[in-house]
Amino acid sequence: MKQREVTTADNTRWTCVQAYAAVESSTADQATSLSETEEGAVPVVCTPSGGAQTVRLELGKDWLDNLSDDELATAIQAAQ
């Protein structure tokens, strides 16, 4: 399972993973395909290290490789 960690301005460390990415099965592959929006966005769940609540984002499917840490942190803060 690929994940990314990012720290926001309030020093909260977030771990982000694409929804359904942790499960290796044909059902998970189908769920991943079905969850992609027409615009090519995928659901991403970010879990904090501290007292903040988990957030769910819709990011481009290349978010793991092409979204900067600053952009990811900004998306998390906007979703809170």
**pLDDT tens profile 36-78:** 667 778 999 999 997 779 999 999 989 999 999 999 999 999 9
pLDDT of residue 46: 96
Give the sheet arrangement for strand 3-7, strand by strand.
Answer: 3-7, 13-18, 41-48, 55-60
CA distances to 4, 5, 48, 70, 79 from 8, rounded to whole Å, are: 13, 10, 10, 8, 12
pLDDT of residue 40: 75
Provide the strand spans (E) within 1-80.
Answer: 3-7, 13-18, 41-48, 55-60
Confidence band, pLDDT 50/70/90 cuts, at residue 19: confident
- The pTM of the whole model exceeds 0.85: no
pLDDT of residue 24: 59
